[in-house]
Structure 1
Amino acid sequence: MEEQNKKELFEKAIKLHQNGDLEEADKIYLSVLDQDNDNFAANFLHGCILSDKSEFRESINFFEVALRAQPENFDVNNSLGVAYKNLGDFSKSEKYFIKSITIDSNNYQAYFNCANVYSDMHDYKSAIEFFRNAIKINEDFAEAHQRLGETYQELYKEDKNEKHIINSIECFNIILKKQLSFNIPEFKSNATLISLALSYLWLGDIGNADKYFKELNTKNYNDNQYMASYIDNYLMTEKSITTLITHEYEQLTYIDSDTDEIRNTKFTKEYYQELKELYLSIKNNTFKITDVSENIKAQIPKIIYNKAPKVNSDNLINEKNNIKKLELEYLESNPEVLVVDDFLSSECLHEIQKFCRNANIFKYPYENGYLGAFLARGLSNKFILKLSEDIRLSYKNIFNDTKLVQAWIYKYDSNKRGINIHADPAKINVNFWVTPDEGNLNPDSGGLKVWNKIPPDDWDFHQYNSGVEKMKKFLSDNKSIEQTIPYKENRAVIFNSKLFHSTDEFRFDDSYKNRRLNITFLYE
């Protein structure tokens, strides 16, 4: 292949590559390699395409050929670092990122990449040093400020030194004050507000935590990209949109009945009437997804009513329980599973039941027919945040210095299924139930199944939250024991969050106010 032809081919291939047409670009790279298998550019660029496809092990073979041709090439060394990082070989990844820095000590991306490797290795002090080096070179590198703040949070989890949380807040505030934007696709635009809210919560500053969670929620619903993503994820399949419409109509009908004396809800007659027609078509099995108007798609994600419960008590937890005895029971259990009845104070139980009936925050439907409300998507308020603190402070010998990292409420359709086998990435899971006992038609079931096994160390989050058959096989092969805890109003199950667990089969009254509810707080 003549050099001029080769040059023209590469120019064409690179243009295709930049425009996202990876297959056509790669055909050209491979055609060059057929004629010249040591060609630097073809090996490097073919390796990049393999890396883009997450075929990291295969990409390394081509990067190494390119490296032999140009051992001092920054891009090749950096790409090898990325590939090895994604394969979990942090030692080799560090080696190539350090080499990249040696080649170009002014490249902030190389410091950033190496810092992320140190973070994966839990070497947080080295990670902080390298994130700071990246920021020295590029003060407006938003991702480095974000990751630096997150690394201070991780360091805080290890030693509970509050100065790390204060440092994290400074990092996140730089992003907000300078209005910096993320350019790396993996970084979500709302990450800074979530992180800032959690840092304030971990300091015990519920007011500021609530402020930033609320700011996040407002930002989400005014963000065209967020709303477009919401529509793609939740409003494009019949299962998810019928789940959402059914709950939305039943909830607004309940609110409008004035049972809980809710005032000033902001929905129009036109919106309600359109929901009603769709709801009836679902019940009559005549629903077609094409019947869902653009108006419904625009309106249904929005939170119409979300008044926080009242906080009139110093402690929302039932202090009449023998907490010392319960703590000892948890600490002596193997695996760590504790059932607590009459968990919340009667006032708290009443307020949270009313909140779950009326808060228009259940906007995230799942395939099995339940809906979720999440801490950073409408659930957070001063009551919920105080409750999360009251739990860990009341049962301090169980929770020690752990802090809330996530919370959600799931609301179920009485005719559908619950959550499949999974595990949650945290130290302690608090799963408590608030649907009135009269709604549970089978009091011997409907709660939680917990197995006495945790995932293997080499399983990642994706592996122990998907692939039900793989998890069942693991549990069977390891002769795990299943514990079933029946659903009961105001019952909590406190357990090691990494234990495999699932929703038990349930049969609840098919009415809106008696939908099965479970509230989950995760602590790390």
Structure 2
Amino acid sequence: MTSQNQNDLNIAIAAFQKGELDTAERVCINILSRDSCDAGANYILALINGQKGLKNVAINHFREAIFIAPEYFNYRIALSSYYLEINNPESAIKELEIVLSKVPDSIAAHTNIGTAFKKKGNLEKALAHFDKAAFLFRKPQDKDFINNNRQNEVHPTFSMTRETKLEHDIQQLEFLQSRYPSNVIFSQYANKMLDVLASFRSRNINNGLGSFSELEYEKIYDFYNKILFRPILHDESPILGDHKVNTLLSERFDYKADDIVIIDDFLSEVSLVNVQRYCLESTVWFDTKNDSGYLGAYMHDGFIPSFTLAIQPALREKWEKLFLGKVLKQLWAFKYVSEGEGTRFHADDASINVNLWITPDNCCLDPENSGLTLFPINIPENIAFSYYNNDKNRLNDLIKGREREKLIIPYKCNRAVIFKSRFIHKTSGCKFIPGYENRRINITLLFD
């Protein structure tokens, strides 16, 4: 590539990143008029036309970039992302299988092919690739390896944190040390994090998201936000419990029978104990959500409890009318501080939500106000989902004046609330006994 083409490509990239698509397109066309074999210009044109909705033009430019630079596998990965965006998982898989045959440890390729298999309903293959991606991204490294690669930019998940996140991680490491006393590494990690917490707390207020200082980072970079431990557990069949529909609660609310279903004894006793243990012991709580102090763990990033593969067919068999033809689209869990706020009002981009609580009832000090707040009001179908979900004022406008329709569903361990995903809802604030094992944990499954 000539220096002029490189300079122009940098201009095109900057324009594209600022949303100036016409400028970026014009610069790329000029580059190709001088050199039709410029892979970078074709790649930017692919992204531009993808944003404009010109699918065939975008794919042709991706193909041209790949033909010119077949050894640059990021072009194939980007094409696979576009195929996923336009709901063509089969074509995405073909591209990604080529990448993985040459670069078997590509985190992006494993993540994308996992998403593609999930879209096709092949959850077993999806989970295998998600787990591989999470392991590659978050495996603990010895310090010599990391020091040799320190020139690479550090991902924010490893360089930023909150006070409540550090407090949780210290509590979890101390809990693991008590469970597995022969593994002294947990207490060693906890002591290092205690040192970091003291200095981090002194300069960060209101639980704000902040970067580690260089000295703090040096102490913990080989293990912070890494997959240090996950117990290997096996659920026994059946994984579902008795599924007692809570008619007493249902009678308090006025809604269509299948719009909201409140089920107690959702998981079998063995499955409940296993998922409780998994959530307490697994070091997969990487996402520090906001100033409220709750943490998130996700299916694509190491959170794969033992019931994950079996839950979809089990629910189809138990609730055929609700789940027939539906596939598990997303799975996550949130873990909260002992007392504080919940989530904000939102809706989810799926067909059916299953919201499950797993912390024992004796840990909850205020069950009436520590559950779920729900308005059986849909986000409008004919407007982009993000238009409402990313703007709390628009959501508030939808529920304004409709307070009488609000449902407050109390907390109960092993209670699941099944409802339409586009209903406006939030996890309520919580009041639980202080202590690591007493934190409220709720698990959300989305089906579509």
Q: Could you tell me whether the CA contact under 8 Å between 1:135 and 1:144 is conserved in 2?
A: no
Alpha-carbon separation, structure 2, partners of 1:199 and 1:84 = 24
* 1:413 and 2:337 correspond: yes
State the distance in 2 between where 1:373 and 1:229 align.
Answer: 24
Structure 2: give runs of 5+ residues left out of the alignment.
Answer: 205-211
Cα 1:406/1:342, change in 2 over 3 Å: same
Structure with the larger RCO, 1 or 2 (CA within 8 Å, 6+ apart): 2
Q: Taking structure 1 as reference, are residues 407 and 54 closer, same or farther at Cα in structure 2, changes over 3 Å only?
A: same
1:354 to 259, 277, 299: 277
2:51 pairs with one of 69, 82, 86? 86
Query: Which digits, 9 at most, give the CA deviation of each residue in 1:350-402, with x for residues without a partner?
Result: 22112211112112212121111111211125433323443344322211111
Seen in structure 2, the aligned counterparts of structure 1 residues 461 and 177 have a Cα distance that, compared at 3 Å, is farther
Choose the corresponding residue for 1:241, options 157, 162, 172: 162
Task: Tell me, in whole angstroms, the C-alpha distance in 2 between the residues paired with 1:189 and 1:51.
Answer: 24
Q: 1:134 & 1:209 partners in 2: Cα distance?
A: 28
Matched, 1:174 2:98: yes
Count of residue pairs brought into register by the alignment: 415
Match of 2:331, SS state, is strand
Alpha-carbon offset, residue 411 of structure 1: 0.5
Asked if the contact 2:352–2:419 (Cα under 8 Å) also holds between the matched residues in 1, the reply is yes
Q: Distance in 1 between matches of 2:344 and 2:243?
A: 34
Is contact 2:298-2:332 (8 Å) kept? yes
| Residue equivalent to 1:431 | 355
Aligned mates of 1:150, 1:74 — CA distance in 2: 27
Match of 1:276 in 2: 194
Equivalent residues of 2:266, 2:416 under 8 A apart: yes
Aligned partner of 1:397 in structure 2 is: 321
Residues 1:169 and 1:448: Cα distance change in structure 2 (over 3 Å): same
Work out whether residues 369 and 428 of structure 2, in 8 Å CA contact, stay in contact via their aligned partners in 1.
Answer: yes
- Which whole-Å deviations, capped at 9, do the CAs of 1:178-219 have from their partners, x for residues lacking one? 33999xxxx94543342366368x246x3x444333322221
**Separation in 2 of the partners of 1:287 and 1:515?**
26
Matched AA of 1:267: I
2-structure distance, mates of 1:77, 1:190: 25
Higher strand share: 2
Residue 255 of structure 1 is matched in structure 2 by 176
Aligned to 1:191: 111
Q: Is the 8 A contact 1:301 1:363 kept in 2?
A: yes
Match of 2:293 in 1: 369
CA displacement at 1:491 relative to structure 2: 0.6
Conserved? CA contact 1:172–1:196, under 8 Å: no
Please report the TM-score for the alignment, with normalisation by the length of structure 2: 0.75
Aligned residue number for residue 375 of structure 2: 451
Instruction: Determine the structure 1 residue equivalent to 2:240.
Output: 317
Identity in percent? 23
Cα displacement (A) at 1:254:
1.6
Alignment of 1:206-221 (within 5 A): 206=124, 208-221=125-138
1:53 corresponds in structure 2 to 18
Deviation larger for 75-84 or 376-385: 75-84
Q: What is the Cα-based RMSD across aligned positions, in Å?
A: 4.5
Q: Distance in 2 between matches of 1:380 and 1:400?
A: 23
2:350 partner amino acid: A
Cα shift at 1:434: 0.5
Shift of 1:499: 1.7
Distance 1:12 1:171, change over 3 A: closer
Distance 1:347 1:444 in 2: 27
Distance 1:227 1:496 in 2: 47
SS of 1:473's partner is helix
Distance in 2 (alpha carbons) for counterparts of 1:197 and 1:460: 25
Secondary structure at the counterpart of residue 330 of structure 2: strand
User: C-alpha separation between the residues in 1 aligned to 2:203 and 2:379?
Assistant: 41
- Residue of structure 2 in register with 1:146 after alignment: 80
Tell me, in whole angstroms, the C-alpha distance in 1 between the residues paired with 2:188 and 2:44: 55
Structure 1 unaligned segments of length 5 or more: list them: 1-10, 23-44, 99-108, 114-130, 157-163
What's the CA shift for 1:60? Answer: 7.8
Q: 8 Å contact 1:361–1:379 — kept in the other structure?
A: yes
Classify the secondary structure of the residue corresponding to 2:430.
coil
Amino acid at match of 2:76: A
Who is 1:31 aligned against? none
Q: Pairwise mapping of residues 130-141 of structure 1 onto structure 2 (< 5 A)?
A: none
Whole-angstrom distance in 1 between the partners of 2:410 and 2:439 = 16
Matched, 1:340 2:263: yes
Q: What are the superposed Cα offsets for residues 152-185 of structure 1, whole Å, 9 maximum, x if unpaired?
A: 9x468xxxxxxx6xx7655543331133999xxx
Q: Letter of the aligned partner of 1:516 in structure 2?
A: R
Q: 1:345 to 1:84 in 2, by over 3 A?
A: same
Alignment of 1:277-316 (within 5 A): 277-279=195-197, 286=202, 290=213, 292-311=216-235, 313-316=236-239
What SS class does the counterpart of residue 379 from structure 1 fall into?
Answer: coil
Indicate the SS of the match to 1:453.
Answer: strand
Which residue is 2:208 aligned to?
none
Cα distance in 2 between the residues matched to 1:297 and 1:337? 45
Tell me if the contact between 1:197 and 1:212 (Cα under 8 Å) persists in the aligned partners: no
SS in 2 for 1:245: helix
CA deviation profile, 1:331-354 (whole Å, cap 9, x unmatched): x82782221111111221122112
Letter paired with 1:111: N
Contact 2:177 2:184 in 1 (8 A): no
The aligned counterpart of 2:408 is 484
Change (3 A) 1:112 1:334: farther
- Contact in 1 for aligned 2:111/2:130 (Cα 8 Å): no
Conserved in 2, the CA contact under 8 Å of 1:168 and 1:199? no
The superposition leaves residues 256-284 of structure 1 with CA deviations (integer Å, 9 ceiling, x where unpaired) of 223xxx466472554222223345667xx
SS of 1:444 mapped into structure 2 = helix
Q: Is the 8 A contact 1:213 1:380 kept in 2?
A: no
